[in-house]
Structure 1
Amino acid sequence: MTRHRTASARSTGPRSWPILLLFLSFLAFGIPGAAQGTPAPDQTGGAPPPATGAADRGGPPSARTNAVTIADPAELVVWNRPIVTLRAKIDNVTPAERVGRASQELAALRQEEPTGEAVAVPAQLGALQGYFIEIDNRQIFGLLPQDVDPLQRETLEQAAIAAAGRLNAALRVRAEQRSLPMILRSFGLASLATAVLVLMILGIVWLRRLTLRQLTALSRGNAITVAGIDLRPYSRATGTAVVKALGVAAQLVCVYLWLAFVLLQFSYTRPWGEGLGIWLISLLGEFSHAILSAVPGLFTVAIIFIMTRFVADLVKGFFKRVEAGWLRVHWLEAETARATRRLVIVLLWLFALTVAYPYIPGSQTDAFKGISVLAGLMLSLGAAGFINQVMSGFVVVYSRSVRTGEFVEVGAIQGTVTEVGMLATKLVTATREEVTIPNAVFVTSSLTNFSRHADAAHGSTIGTTVTIGYDAPWRQVQAMLIMSAERTRAIRRQPKPRVVQRNLDDFYVEYRLLFAIDHPETQLFVLSELHGHIQDVFNEHGVQILSPHFNSQPAEPVVVPEVDWHRPPAPPPVEQPETAPAKSPSIPPRD
């Protein structure tokens, strides 16, 4: 058997387990044994079983052993440091049992105070070749080709030498922890780091309070208003939340660094401290790499944003000039310029977003795509009513059915149009009430525009309706209605008021008085005055404003005698000149 040894000096010192246990308990970490692994199922009382062969000690099999298979791996850990991972099952000895027996060998070796170091010793037994890891000629564990990780691309010899080196390093660190000066140094540095942590936390708290006082003082200064809203309470609340969040984040970073530093000072917890440091460095590296990788895309997005903003300003200036009447183009009216401006700017920004989307950092990730799909689905389901209102707004604007300042009647609502928006149209009634009508309702309702065709020569024509029984002469009714209109001050004399008979119902006649006024928005008050005059005139002439209904046929016909056809205030009949009766056209005889 050929032996290959790797040796280095190893120092020993007094045992320091009680002190180390006290400190690690303070850090709330449990202390495993000096050598960790999965114990063998047949382990009793902590004493190693008698060795019956190389396979029983986790080493290469003897000449009588031929069954070597791959089983669930088990890792040998010494002083919180991984040494080797065993994968081969030798006969009935699993990797976990091999690790447990190696741990027992290390525990027994520790009591003997070994002076040598771990070495990798090749062994050729029968048809199998492997390595023993020995200390002072004591076999700790063995390695077979099946124990080597195929993904590491290393030979069995390299794996054995590396395992021996890791075992020597773990034993050396364990020996260092027994040194009283090393323990005192570790405790001293940990105490100093704790004092620095306390000072840093106190400094962060003081700086946070100072910043909050400055924010409060600034919020009491001049008002910051946007659209008539004072933003000081909102800015103070936002600033306070940001400062507190930054303070908590800074404290957490300090605690993280303190914990990593303290763990690095003690041999047993040093791997944990190194893990925390590696994770932090890796996180900072990934964050920096992500920022640097996003710079070109962000630069492209910024260029697209600047160019779009420039074009949007040009478009806005053009449409505002058309809207104000400073510029006239044949394809665009001033009334539709505002809506067209908004539509073009929205389409422009949507186009810019489409172009810039591939350059947004993270836009190609599955998470970003999932959020985009979810946002699109929510927008599709929740914006149906919104899109309906917007499209109805386009119909209202581009049909030019109403304009700002016109007096209209929508359904049963009359008022002056004050705003034609993309979502709703606002009216102000004669009683100074503002009514908001959704554009979808505006489009589907009947619309009467009293101002569109009104001019200085003819005014705006409106009317009122009365129903009178057949026993009242229609000439008299028409004359009384005309007289009532002439008594109303706001009714124009030209064009003259006129009366039309709209319906001949079963029991009454429907008369409609048409007249013109200068200001259609005052028709509520004009009609009120007119209705008063109608009642007065009808009372003066003894005519009832009544719509009779008969349950049975009257005894006498409900007619007006010819002598009463022109009762006042109807004008008297005009004498018609006598004329010769017209001759009937002669019909030529048939042949």
Structure 2
Amino acid sequence: MTMNRWWKAWGRSLRWLFVLLGLLGALWLAPAYGQAEDAEPVPEGNLVDGFAVELDGETLFYVREGIPGVVSAQERAIIIAERVREIANDPDIAPKDVQVENREQDAIVRVGDRVLFTVRPEDTGAPEQTFEEGAQLAADRIQTAMMDYRTARSTRRLVLGVVYTVLSTLALIVFLRVVQRAIARLISWIIAISRRGFLGLRLPQMQILSSTATGYLLRSLARLLQLVLTLFAFYLYLPFVLSQFPFTRAVGGRLFADVLGTLQSIAASFAEYLPNLVILFVIGYITTSVLGLAKLIIRELGRDDSCPWFYDEWVEPTTRLATFFIIAFALVVAGPYLPGFGSPSFQGISIFIGALFTLGSSTAVANAIAGLILIYTRAFRLGDVIRVNDILGIVDEKSLFVTRMRTFKQEVITIPNSSLLNNEVTNLSVISRETERGLVLYTTITLGYDVPWRTVHQVLIEAAIATNHILQEPRPFVLQTSLNDFNVSYELNASTRTPEKIPAIYDQLHQNIQDFCNAADIEILSPTFAALRDGNHSTIPANYLSDDYESPGFQIRTKPQ
């Protein structure tokens, strides 16, 4: 199995090697077959510094003056560079054949009878340099460049280039394999310790990242490190390989110079940004210290023996509010020192985010303000039993934007804070929490006028006392709330200190009312009377009637004719 995997890995490496060699061959051969003799690139330069005469990507000298009425300085540089390239490609011309012929008004650089160019007094770049010295210096540079040009294209140098390319390719493949295996082992180790819960990131009072989230972040950073190392290896590899062959040396040099220039620019930008970074660290340190001091002061205010007007339930929201404003102020102060501050893109993003908040956050802001008002007016707290419109339940969660209630049917209802602020909220728990009294529960029954009211009061009070969670003191009492046409409304009132058990209390109370009324021979009904007063028994309770009371006889009278 191990041998199999080794062969597969080696096969993949060979495929990569062949692909890279094919690419290098194309880069090497394409210029040789595709470059026309008259397709010399436009030389770099300007009218002030002159235009460069190059051979194989190396600058020999600059042409600053043209020939009036014949060629410009740029055209003259192109012609000279083409002639130098021609003699460099001619094996019959030796570098020492490049000679200087000095005359009274100028100097001619020639190869045998072939004139390469003429150096005049105005062609010299420095006032202290004569045109003879300038011509000799140009000839010496052409001789050196010709030797380098031919050496780079020699069979030995090309073979060495191929060998170096193969070795560097193998080194690249080995390096990439090592990086891949090292990163794979690092990721496996991160997964293992993440599953054990060792990577959780938390502050003293809150968890910032769970172990799973931290593990995911570290795995992503490990893969990013692998990508950076791979790109860095290719950035070193490609310029080195391209520089081994004369046809791609210029490309390799430019690529390496671009990468080096980019890295230097990044380093210079970082060095330039260091003072701002120091200021940001100072702002962060001061902000952290102020946050700690603010939390300490708020906790001290919340102590029972410190400030009676500052309630304990205000500590946490006040801490969050203070933290928000302190961090917001710190961000405003640190804004000018952030990277890219003041740039058009930074301003555009700021305007876009501001527009989003302006257009879409009116409801959220209203809910947040309502949430703060509900907190500081102490309308309710967690665990309180409240009634909002027709909803009765226990407060399970209070946030800046919404409040969650759990009804006695175990339904979770989310109510926006603005709705709570605009509606009446009945708190059934606050009286029991803040005073010695209890919440008064009440229920109403209707009984006929024939049932003595004193008996009804006694029976209902006994039923209430026999109910669990009903307080003995204050004693339950009964109110006759209405004398209806055919019956009397009796309202039983009893106190409790456990409003969270209201459904169970009402259930047992109603059961006891039925049991105690039945035991007292009281029918729980609402009678309807249709009576002729002649001959009917009075509906006044018997204890109000005389002992010798008898129902009057039914009488019929006729009207005389």
TM-score of the superposed pair, with normalisation by structure 2: 0.68
Q: Compared with structure 1, are the counterparts of its residues 142 and 404 closer, same or farther at alpha carbon in structure 2 (3 Å cutoff)?
A: same
The equivalent residue for 2:344 is: 366
2:393 is aligned with 1:412: no
Match of residue 258, structure 1, among 219, 232, 237: 237
Residue 393 (structure 1) shift: 0.9
Tell me which amino acid in the other structure corresponds to 2:276.
Answer: G
> Once structures 1 and 2 are overlaid, which stretch shifts more, 77-86 or 90-99?
90-99
Q: Which residue of structure 2 lines up, in the alignment, with residue 498 of structure 1?
A: 479
Note the C-alpha offset of 1:396: 0.5
Distance 2:183 2:387 in 1: 61
- Kindly tell me: are residues 393 and 118 of structure 1, through their superposed partners in 2, closer, same or farther at Cα, counting changes over 3 Å? farther
Match of 1:344 among 322, 347, 352: 322
Corresponding residue number in structure 1 for 2:11: none
Deviations 1:117-138 (A, max 9, x none): 49799999xxxxx999865453
Q: Provide the secondary structure at the position in 1 that maps to 2:307.
A: coil
TM-aligned CA distance change 1:541 to 1:36, over 3 Å: farther
Note closer, same or farther for the CA distance 1:572–1:90 as it changes in structure 2 (3 Å cut): farther
In structure 2, the CA distance between the partners of 1:401 and 1:96, relative to structure 1 (3 Å rule), is same
2:292 aligned to which of 296, 299, 313: 313
> Counterpart of 2:14?
none
How far apart are 1:410 and its partner, in Å?
1.7
How do 1:173-572 residues align onto structure 2 when only pairs under 5 Å count? 173-219=148-194, 221=196, 223-225=198-200, 231-323=210-302, 325-329=303-307, 332-430=310-408, 435-454=413-432, 458-464=437-443, 473=449, 480=456, 483-484=459-460, 486-488=462-464, 489-490=466-467, 494=475, 496-501=477-482, 511=489, 513=491, 515-518=493-496, 519-532=498-511, 537=517, 544-545=525-526, 566-567=540-541, 572=544
Q: Contact (CA 8 Å) 1:263, 1:269: kept in 2 or not?
A: yes
Q: Which residue of 2 aligns with 1:138?
A: 114
CA gap of 1:178–1:372, structure 2 versus 1, over 3 A, is: same
Taking the aligned partners of 2:412 and 2:112, their CA distance within structure 1 comes to 101
Q: Deviations over 1:45-99 (max 9, x none)?
A: xxxxxxxxxxxxxxxxxxxxxxxxx9xxx99875466888999999999999999
1:8 maps to what in 2? none
How big is the shift at 1:228? 8.7
Which residue of structure 2 lines up, in the alignment, with residue 577 of structure 1? none
In the other structure, the counterpart of 1:25 is 25
Give the residue type in structure 1 aligned to 2:31. Answer: I
The total of aligned residue pairs comes to: 498
Q: CA deviation at 1:335?
A: 3.1
Deviations 1:466-491 (A, max 9, x none): 689xxx65997997587445423345
Give the structure 2 partner of residue 53 of structure 1: none
**For residues 23 and 318 of structure 2, what CA distance do their matches in structure 1 show?**
75
Matches within 5 A, 1:45-194: 79=56, 110=89, 113-115=92-94, 116-117=97-98, 135-138=111-114, 171-194=146-169
1:6 maps to what in 2?
Answer: none
Does the CA-based 8 Å contact 1:467-1:508 persist in structure 2?
A: no
The TM-score, its normalising length taken from structure 1, stands at 0.65
Contact 1:24–1:30, Cα closer than 8 Å, also in 2 = no
Helix, strand or coil at the partner of 1:415: strand
Deviates more, 1:367-376 or 1:30-39: 30-39
Question: What is the distance in 1 between the residues matched to 2:287 and 2:227?
Answer: 40
CA contact (8 A) 1:36 1:80 kept: no
Question: Counterpart in 2 of 1:54?
Answer: none
Displacement after TM superposition at 1:31 (Å): 1.0
Report how far residue 390 of structure 1 moved: 1.6
More off after superposition, 172-181 vs 215-224: 215-224
Instruction: Tell me if structure 1 keeps the 8 A contact 2:461–2:476.
Output: no
1:486 and 1:282, CA in 2 relative to 1: closer, same or farther beyond 3 A? same
Which protein has greater RCO, CA pairs closer than 8 Å, 6+ apart?
1
Aligned-partner SS, 2:415: strand
Shift of 1:25: 2.4
| Contact 1:260–1:277 (8 Å) recurs in 2 | yes
- With over 3 angstroms needed to count, the CA separation of the structure-2 counterparts of 1:238 and 1:520, relative to structure 1, is closer
CA contact (8 A) 1:37 1:77 kept: no
Change (3 A) 1:524 1:97: same
Q: Share of identical aligned residues, percent? A: 22
- For residues 118 and 488 of structure 2, the distance between their equivalents in structure 1, rounded to whole angstroms, comes to 118
Q: CA deviation at 1:394?
A: 0.8
Which amino acid in 1 is paired with 2:164?
L
2:15 match:
none
Q: Which residue of 2 aligns with 1:48?
A: none
2:556 alignment partner in structure 1? none
CA distance in 2, matches of 1:92, 1:379: 68
Any idea what SS the aligned residue of 1:408 has?
strand
CA contact (8 A) 1:426 1:434 kept: yes
